[in-house]
Structure 1
Amino acid sequence: MKLTRKQQHFFDYLEKKLVECGQTPSLRDAADDLGVSRNAVAQLIGQLERKKVIEREGRYSRSIRILQQLPEKQDREDRVRELPVVGQITAGLPMYAQQEWDGSILVDRTVFPGNNLFCLRICGKSMQDAGILDGDLVVCEPRQYAENGEIVAVLIQGEEATVKRFFLGEDYIELRPENKTFSAVRYPFSDILVQGKVTGVIRSYASR
């Protein structure tokens, strides 16, 4: 039942039209929408019928019924998950940590597994040598502790937030950037609250 690329594209088109209009398009409308001939549309309908993924009510009927959802499409849908984007966070000078959502993003759950993941948008260049660039989204696993060397999102003095590499000293926490033009900063334990460990980066090309 595996479809060719053209057949898959046409099947997706039929599904979309059925949802939007409640009926399948005419051969003329489908040909115009897809930029192909009516004969090509008729051939695609026949191919999908033979593969038993659609059914017509009579040879010349416009009414087409979707017989089953394709496993490939269901697999794709099952892999998608939505992650909240929580405000904006600085990778440079810390800025106020916004608590409200700033939208959401769809990701592949096989690439980003884990529970209660959230995203933070990076503003600044202090982590660029770790591959975290200005405008990127970092994916974080909620956590209130960190191991030495891990990249984490932290709250500073309960108000400001930043993404840095974490190091624990005898009586301080050191947050190190990944950019030689920025300096590491040490804080007393009471000033730092770990919010999550960075587990991935979603590149933003908007400002590239």
Structure 2
Amino acid sequence: MLTRKQHQLLLFIDDHLRRTGFSPSFDEMKDALDLRSKSGIHRLISALEERGFLRRHHHRARALEVVRMPNQTGLATPSTTAADPFVPTIIPGGRAVPVAAPRADAPATSLPLFGKIAAGLPIEALRDANTHVHVPTDMLSAGDHYALVVSGDSMIEAGILDGDIVIIRQDDVAETGQIVVALIDGQEVTLKRLRRRGSTIALEPANPNYETRIVPADRVQIQGRLVGLFRQY
């Protein structure tokens, strides 16, 4: 049996994994459980890991895996999140090759690669319509998509590393907490987590070495939302 806080944290992590494909930060877990410090989250995670409900991948940032979930009787049941984890795709030589080999007849979609986007200080995204990447069609939702190469390390705790290729669904709206491509003052483009604060927008990094940038809402234009990630080794 789990304590109430252990069960609450496990449900929060599992829901976050399903929605985003990566585990929440310690700050997000602390806020979700209304705890005063991160030390309480560390203790809860350790307890869940000891009981076999969570697995930590210590060589990766923000890499928690839900191994099993308790059912209503208190017995553990396998987690669909653990069975189907978010796995980046290797792209050697500009050709998309999934980590797990796809079916030979699996449909793929060619997306334009528009250049680099800052996951650090904002830089201009360079559009190059002559470069494309191929992604599995079933990882895309309705609407238009494009790809960008990440430059910088400010989103490492969200599992986004320098050199990764992010898949963006083109959109001009986003909910608080989503990772977005934001255009600032019509000239600077950055990849950050969006938070709405009254008449301002906070663009949050996922790295304690970087500061949150707060900008009047009328100076920010959302250009898309993160829906996928490829990794080049």
State the distance in 2 between where 1:194 and 1:187 align.
Answer: 13
State the distance in 1 between where 2:126 and 2:139 align.
Answer: 26
Asked whether 1:192 is paired with 2:198, we answer: no
State the distance in 2 between where 1:148 and 1:193 align.
Answer: 14
Aligned to 2:135: 107
Shift of 1:190: 1.9
Larger Rg belongs to: 1
Q: Tell me if the contact between 2:182 and 2:190 (Cα under 8 Å) persists in the aligned partners.
A: yes
Q: Tell me if the contact between 2:112 and 2:128 (Cα under 8 Å) persists in the aligned partners.
A: no
Aligned to 2:202: 174
Long gaps (5+) in structure 2 = 1-102
Q: Of 171, 177, 180, which aligns to 1:149?
A: 177
Residue aligned with 2:157, SS? helix
Relative to the length of structure 2, the TM-score reads 0.54
Q: Deviations over 1:139-194 (max 9, x none)?
A: 01111011010000011111110000001111210000001111101001121110
Cα pair distance change 1:123/1:194, threshold 3 Å: same
State the distance in 2 between where 1:99 and 1:115 align.
Answer: 19
Q: What letter corresponds to residue 131 of structure 1 in structure 2?
A: G
Asked whether 1:133 is paired with 2:148, we answer: no
Cα pair distance change 1:108/1:196, threshold 3 Å: same
Shift of 1:96: 1.7
State the distance in 1 between where 2:170 and 2:155 align.
Answer: 20
Q: Tell me if the contact between 1:166 and 1:175 (Cα under 8 Å) persists in the aligned partners.
A: yes
Long gaps (5+) in structure 1 = 1-71
Cα pair distance change 1:129/1:185, threshold 3 Å: same
Q: Deviations over 1:88-120 (max 9, x none)?
A: 111000012223336111111112343311011
Q: Deviations over 1:7-50 (max 9, x none)?
A: xxxxxxxxxxxxxxxxxxxxxxxxxxxxxxxxxxxxxxxxxxxx
Aligned to 2:114: 86
State the distance in 2 between where 1:194 and 1:124 align.
Answer: 20
Cα pair distance change 1:113/1:171, threshold 3 Å: closer
Q: What letter corresponds to residue 123 of structure 1 in structure 2?
A: S
State the distance in 2 between where 1:181 and 1:101 align.
Answer: 34
Cα pair distance change 1:171/1:115, threshold 3 Å: closer
Shift of 1:133: 0.5
Q: 1:114-125 maps to which residues of 2 (within 5 A)?
A: 114-125=142-153
Aligned to 1:14: none
Q: Runs of 4 or more off by more than 4 Å in structure 1? A: none
Relative to the length of structure 1, the TM-score reads 0.60
Q: Of 95, 98, 107, which aligns to 2:126?
A: 98
State the distance in 1 between where 2:111 and 2:142 align.
Answer: 11
Q: 1:14-29 maps to which residues of 2 (within 5 A)?
A: none
